[in-house]
Structure 1
């Protein structure tokens, strides 16, 4: 499965967060699109509307398991998707910003 390291992500890369609502509310990457894995198939259209047509979808969860499942699904749909290795735990450990919906500092649940 295609993966990418957190350190290789650039500002402006399209990020899809598939964690559940409580995890998202605690803290997330600014600018990420949130579609929980439990709602993913029903809300798939939101991704196709928001994702760049010629760009890559970087899928992230807490540690990489759920995002791996979504990455495989997206690849089967013909979408250029990669799993973010280590997920939000590595994101936070790397010093990348984690924010709440109101822009305050957040944390990874």
Structure 2
């Protein structure tokens, strides 16, 4: 039995269960956390840039650093819903190499992979 064909505009997902997942993410030109600012501040992936889903297209369109449509982008959110919507939007803007992290940051944390946590003040 053959798997069902994926639509040509399906968003490739990076599974955190794969041994090469961290390498694929490090190889990206841009790692984007599309969660809200407070979610990003509570913990995010190393090297991620916080661009909430609601302003993503505006931030990318208004910045010359993101003009290249062949940029390798990896997106994530809490569970992967917002990242999938954002990735589809970026594809419609002409970005050709957009991926998302399957299961989002929740899957990442459940897999025991590292995140950047806010530093707590020291009262010593």
- Alignment match, 1:58: 74
* 38 and 55 in structure 1: CA distance in 2 versus 1, 3 angstrom threshold: closer
CA distance in 1, matches of 2:106, 2:79: 6
Higher relative contact order structure (alpha carbons within 8 Å, sequence separation ≥ 6)? 1
* 62 and 48 in structure 1: CA distance in 2 versus 1, 3 angstrom threshold: farther
- Alignment match, 1:83: 100
TM-score, normalised to structure 1, is: 0.78
| 1:29 and 1:99 in contact (8 A); partners too | yes
CA deviation digits over 1:27-72, x for unaligned, max 9? 0001111101122122124776269875421110000000000110
* 78 and 65 in structure 1: CA distance in 2 versus 1, 3 angstrom threshold: same
The structure with the largest alpha-carbon Rg is 2
TM-score, normalised to structure 2, is: 0.70
Across the aligned residues of Structure 1 and Structure 2, the Cα RMSD in angstroms comes to 2.5
